[in-house]
A = this chain, B = another copy of it.
Amino acid sequence: MKVLTKNTDYAIRALLALAAEKGRYLSAKSIAAGQDIPYQFLRTLLQEMIRHNLIVSKEGARGGFMLEKDPDTITVTQLIEIFQGKVQVSECMFRKQICGNRSRCVLRHEIMRIEQVVQSEFEKVTIGKLLRDLEAANRK
């Protein structure tokens, strides 16, 4: 079971690259090369992140992408929701056949509790935190 798909994975890496160069425009090409992400794939991801107001872009020569938001406000949960949809354990695991009473289904509560845990764990992981961890590791 793989929790993060490539697009989320790549998006995080791209954001880390942008966060590391905050205030400057980085081209998709340079990010792709630096992080070893397929160029055209990365471009679609960057555009998606623009739509969600995580980054901004400048067109034309010397253009590129830039992070404007505080990296500590961007969580992995947000990125999962953008690229993989909301965290859900199972659509509706035990239907009428088992549950009978969907409105106060105990199992459903169990399931939703876990969804909550997963979500909040990933919420603790922000781009800012990852970047600091990374820099700390590189200093060693």
A residues apposed to B, CB below 8 Å:
1-4, 9, 12-13, 16, 34-36, 80, 84-91, 93-95, 97-101, 104-107, 110, 114-115, 117-118, 121-122, 125, 129-130, 133-134, 136-138, 140
Contact = CB atoms under 8 A, between A and B. Distances in A.
Secondary structure of the A contact surface, majority rule: helix
Nearest to A84: B1
Contact of A9 (B35, B93, B125): B93
A101 B140 contact: yes
A16 B95 CA distance: 13
Contact of A137 (B93, B106, B129): B106
Copies per complex? 2
A104 B134 CA distance: 11
Contact of A114 (B105, B114, B125): B125
A115 B90 CA distance: 18
Contacts of A105: 137
A97 to B, nearest CB: 5
Given A9-B93, A101-B137, A117-B117, A3 B88 contact: yes
Contact of A122 (B114, B133, B140): B114
